[in-house]
Structure 1
């Protein structure tokens, strides 16, 4: 097939391109090459050297889509906007409107690709699913955003509204969403557009809700994403990794290589059509334990620090149930230690690998995203 990958010069996109080439597909990339993720505004040499057709263009631009969709048999729409900036409209224009524009052009021109796969996010769940372990017969609950006063007072965990005891997090399946920031709202909007219009107009569509994706080629210059990048930059620079809150937040990390296998499954497996599917690491790891793993893999003699900083709007715990993906034949394969070791080996070989964590924290402080407790 001729496969279009938007955001194909980026992290998940470029790995997906590699896998498509191995399968023998012709690949076309549409990417805006926007800083800070792409500071040099040029396509990676490994794409150009392998004969990938690269188009510089914005997914918010109709003309760019029209050029990119010529003779395309399938589309991976992976281009996205993510940041802590309060430019809310940019999230929706880039993530939602671009998806609507894709389907608008497909319908207008009578195009029926074999598959459209859109990148959604675990973020659509907000805090995810919890249950009180003390209240008899307690039902699952899906808490809303934590209160600022609680975070300021270092009351990190979510209390049961009946008994006040800390709620116990559970694996979150695909059934209930509760987005609570601009990024997660826009991702839920994107997948809703794809699945609804896909069904209505006979365009086979799949939304994949990625957990926290880790691996090589993750930009060093994006202040929003990459706990592994952040910890690696500090540890390899001889500084202790800094954990927000108390470091007890439970997260679900997945290798980019496992995500790429899920992307190809969505391309080929008809039973994925019309569904939003969790793609996660099937693990619950605290931020503090993750920091210690990075220190260990780097061979450093450092202890993670938790100075009481917090990012307002962060979830306390969230990790995905992947039973639906397992039914389709997918499970994660890459151990967390292997993810970290591979990333560290790759990162130190990059000429632009520097510690930008202090500047990123200063930027988030200035925006009011990163805050101090009492």
Structure 2
């Protein structure tokens, strides 16, 4: 039986990956430090058929012991949160970049024999997505919008040649990367280090560039996590979701069960030494997300999204996945429809306690000068 070591396997995404592997007949070991920002205690959804080791991936001796018994390394452990990464820089580099470097140093120098490695990467490494100028009929890869543009409330990118508003296109893996946060830089580090060592030591390696993941087991109390969880905690506490800019920015939302399946397919496919988008290719506006959640929680008569018309430093406007390579390399296509997936999230969320800590997190961003007004 193939043995898989899943780092961060007690978390939101990692735990679903563990379930996917267990259901497929793998022998699964999890290492997780149950970080306080995500977990109050051991979660009640842990899989009884997996082995759990409570420890830190930065512990070299522990990781050496665990890797010696593994056939596959699935590296999910990371500090997450774009905004928080911009003022907890050392923490993010330590937990993401340096921890991954230490794991790979163990693999290379401690006689570890792995059949495959899979690493969680992120769409954040792209920065902005791909665009097209409708007048010039040309592709554009804009960088971040300037502070002056944002302060004027001019949210859309414009063509550098003719000034026409650009139209977003699906973002392929070949798009030049423009990491615009410390979090994104560390995810790029993780991806590049894993792929580099995989190539050098003939270990087939796949980096999965996750787009915006949502679904059950998201930490609703964590105000630094995904927008669906943040909005859910606001709505459950009868507070309106706060939407930055004009709310028309788009993202690619993919259900966590599809992400888990992509991880299994990455192990079972012949794919190696490749980075692959994991998304739906179907963009949704942030306002649309807020409205859908309000409706599903049954609070449409009492709440509406609050359009802030302010902005966060480093935020992008549009990015959604080109899914062609995922289909070709992994045989993967997202199966959970948006409405079905959001209902699953809300049904789970109704049963959860959720302290709304958004104002606290927002105040931290303002204090650090990371929020601006138009």
Deviations 1:60-81 (A, max 9, x none): 2212311321311111100001
Give the structure-2-normalised TM-score: 0.94
Deviation beyond 3 Å, 4+ runs, structure 1:
none
Could you say which residue in structure 2 is the equivalent of 1:81? Answer: 79
Matches within 5 A, 1:31-110: 31-38=32-39, 40=40, 42-47=41-46, 50-83=48-81, 84-85=83-84, 86-110=87-111
Residue 258 of structure 1 deviates from its aligned partner by 0.4
Structure 1 contact 252–318 (Cα < 8 Å) conserved: yes
Aligned mate of 2:348, from 346, 349, 365: 346
**Are 1:264 and 2:264 matched, yes or no?**
yes
Pick from 333, 337, 341: which aligns with 2:335? Answer: 333
Partner of 2:234: 234
Normalising by structure 1, we get a TM-score of: 0.94
* Offset of residue 355 of structure 1: 2.2
- Looking at structure 2, the residues matched to 296 and 359 of structure 1 have their Cα atoms a distance apart, in angstroms, of 25
Instruction: For structure 2, list consecutive stretches of 5 or more residues without a partner in the other structure.
Output: none
Cα distance in structure 1, aligned partners of 2:142 and 2:148:
16
Could you tell me how far 1:106 is from its partner in structure 2? 1.4
Cα distance in 2 for partners of 1:243, 1:333 equals 28
Contact between 1:247 and 1:286, CA under 8 Å: does it hold in 2?
A: yes
3-state SS of paired residue (2:372): strand
Question: 1:361-372 maps to which residues of 2 (within 5 A)?
Answer: 361-372=362-373
CA RMSD in angstroms, aligned pairs only: 1.6
Contact kept? 2:68, 2:112, Cα under 8 Å: no
Task: Give the Cα separation in 2 of the matches to 1:88 and 1:357.
Answer: 21
Asked whether the equivalents of residues 128 and 178 of structure 1 are also in contact (C-alpha less than 8 Å), the reply is no
Partners of 1:131 and 1:209 in 2: how far apart?
22
Shift of 1:102: 1.9
Q: In the alignment, which residue of structure 1 is the partner of 2:128?
A: 127
Could you tell me whether the CA contact under 8 Å between 2:6 and 2:74 is conserved in 1? yes
1:274 match: 273
1:195-225 Cα deviation digits (max 9, x unpaired): 1110110111110000000011111232222
Matched, 1:154 2:156: no
More deviation in 248-257 or 26-35?
26-35
Shift of 1:51: 4.3
**CA shift for structure 1 position 108:** 1.3
Q: Does the 8 Å contact 1:112/1:202 carry over to 2?
A: no
Extract unaligned runs of 5+ from structure 1.
none
